Amino acid sequence: MEEPLQLSLNGDELSMVMRTPGNDVELALGLFYAEGIIKALDEVDSVRISAEAAVSEDAVRVEASIVESNSIDVRLKGEPHRRPERSMLASSACGVCGAVLIEDLRRGLSPLGPGPQLDAGALPALVERLRAGQGVFDATGGLHAAALFSSNGDLELAREDVGRHNAVDKVAGRALLNGRLPLAQSVLVVSGRAGYEIVQKAIAAGVPIVAAVGAPSSLAVALAREFGQTLVGFLRAERFNVYSAPERIR
């Protein structure tokens, strides 16, 4: 499924994103964190989804009349750290469509710490474990996935979406709700290619190692090198390429 989701901030319409319905609170919080609108969970007062009734979920009060809706409003306790300049429509194919300036997307990012080291031979197995968790892909063949792994290769969290960047936002949003950000000891594995938006979101979440099944873009490689992130591409079978910060791969 692919449907629009209207995102609002403190009652004001901010953006329209195309996504696969499900885990919409995670998607909204992960996106707002990646774009520097919020920097901590305790800055969020509530999340409203067709606000009619109130229920409690995790550390954020969620007000909802139905389980899933095509409109969500994040209410903050104070002012947002920034309001991004982006168009009112982001397609499921592009997480930064409509962004005015590349420098705007770099704002607020910090160089990554040393993070874990991985044995080169352990990387291909992560793709197999990611693939094993793609239940909807098995049924439809039409979804991307993002998954967090520990430095020991244990699967910690996986999400699917028609947009690969949405899947990353859902993973980051869940980590935020669980009090785990920054993800300084985790590995992010994504299906498909590694575009600029994947690397940017992973750096914002503090992920030191990103591995993609497909190719990285030139801009993704440049950003990973700038902020000290290990970027792996073409992770298939027993082969892969390391484009930046190779010291984390033994």
Q: What pLDDT does 101 receive?
A: 55
> Is the N-terminal amide bond of 182 cis, ω within 30° of 0?
yes
Candidates 194, 186, 195, 5; CA nearest to 96 is: 195
Q: What pLDDT does 236 receive?
A: 87
Catalytic residue flag (residue 94): yes
Q: What pLDDT does 75 receive?
A: 94
Q: How many CB atoms lie within 10 A of CB 87?
A: 12
| 8 A C-beta contact, residue 36 and residue 29 | no
CATH 3.40.140.10 assigned to 120-248:
yes
Q: What pLDDT does 238 receive?
A: 86
Catalytic residue among 51, 76, 94, 249: 94
Phi, psi of 145 (to 5 degrees): -145, 155
| 8 A C-beta contact, residue 245 and residue 224 | yes
Q: What pLDDT does 95 receive?
A: 64
Strand partners, 65: none
Give the separation between CA 212 and CA 241, rounded to whole angstroms: 10
Give the separation between CA 230 and CA 161, rounded to whole angstroms: 24
Residue spans of the chain under pLDDT 70: 50-69, 84-105, 133-142
Q: pLDDT digit string (tens) for 69-102?
A: 688 999 999 999 987 665 445 665 666 655 555 6
Q: What pLDDT does 143 receive?
A: 79
Q: What pLDDT does 54 receive?
A: 40
What predicted TM-score, i.e. pTM, was given to this entire model? 0.86
Strand partners, 161: 144
Q: What pLDDT does 133 receive?
A: 61
Candidates 204, 208, 203; CA nearest to 232 is: 208
Identify residue 187 by its one-letter amino acid code: V
Q: pLDDT digit string (tens) for 103-139?
A: 666 778 999 999 999 999 999 999 888 877 655 544 5
